[in-house]
Amino acid sequence: MPRLLILAEDAHEFRQLIEAAHLPELEIAAASSPAEALAEDSEIVFGEARFIREVLPKLPKLRWVQSMSAGIERLMDPALRRDYVLTNARGVFGAQMSEYVIGYLLAHERRIFERYHAQRELRWDRHPGGRLRGKTIGIMGVGSIGAEIAASAKHFGMTVRGYTRSSETCPDVDAYYHGGALLDLTRGCDYLVSVLPNTADTRHVVDAAVLAALPPHAVFINVGRGSAVDEAALLDALETNKIASAVLDVFQQEPLPEDHPFWTAPNLRMTFHTSAVSTTEDLVPVFIENYKRYLRGEKMMYIVDFERGY
């Protein structure tokens, strides 16, 4: 009988939902921290990557890890073992992150922030707003999350460009760009959105050249990983009006230090790695489906390629 270790701060909530599913041939243990985990006999781990990293050396029978997040950087260290199947939760967060991105696009076009400031200043502001229809959005990374953003953008009548390593599977992307064609994608984009993971290939890919290729009215949004952005280049682009605005949910260092210039950068909106929040109700169905496939010996969803890092 496979033994599952649930390893998360709210592990017991996850346990209740999994037990309620009455999965066959499954023995379940739950721990709220690595210190509490009795891991030696566990064949499967479902948990937070930060905790899983700590217990990896203590899992001689490990065959499969289901991460509770889409980002799995903590498990990509080449010094860590890779003799197991790793799956992540990349299919869970697309709808939330699409709402986040479209929300900021609408706020920018409809001048929501400006109108609020006008209200606070008792100033009647009749400057016309814009619209998303007819605008062009470039999406860097068209996996499950990027595909959700693309579908939402098409709903609003936008032209969608997609930048990927090689795949062209999203029907809502009007034109694909690969490899060295990133500048071709950015030229003429009204909005550029990064959903890129943290890999060696994506580090600082949004650099001064990419930002310079955008038109001055463009807005850059990052909901992927902070490492994809050259922060000094972005700060310069904002301070010199090379782009109109930026929205950042992720940063190279989190929490962002209090002395970081982003806090006071002009036309920068910040949130705090909150564009999508995982819940037990979202994550448990992913585990359940993958467990059923695991028992049947079928290919599981969202398998991570250790070499690619996603």
* 225 belongs to the catalytic site: yes
Those residues whose C-beta lies under 8 Å from the C-beta of residue 148, and which sit 6 or more positions away, are 94, 95, 97, 98
Looking at 187, 225, 269, 308, which residue is catalytic? 225
CA 304, CA 301: separation in Å to the nearest integer? 9
Q: Are 167 and 221 in contact (CB under 8 A)?
A: no
Among 20, 64, 58, 28, residue whose Cα is nearest residue 45: 64
Q: Which of 53, 74, 273, 293 is catalytic?
A: 273
Q: Are 88 and 145 in contact (CB under 8 A)?
A: no
DSSP class of residue 83? -
CA 62/CA 64 separation, integer angstroms = 6
Long-range contacts of 229-234 (CB under 8 A, 24+ apart): 229/194, 229/204, 230/204, 230/206, 231/262, 233/206, 233/207, 233/208, 234/206
Helix axes 94-109, 112-120, angle to 10 degrees: 60
45: β partners? 5, 65
Q: What is the CA radius of gyration of the chain?
A: 21
Identify whether 50 is a catalytic site residue: no
- In degrees and rounded to multiples of 5, residue 29 shows phi and psi of -125, 150
DSSP lists the bridge partners of residue 9 as none
Residue numbers annotated as active site: 225, 273
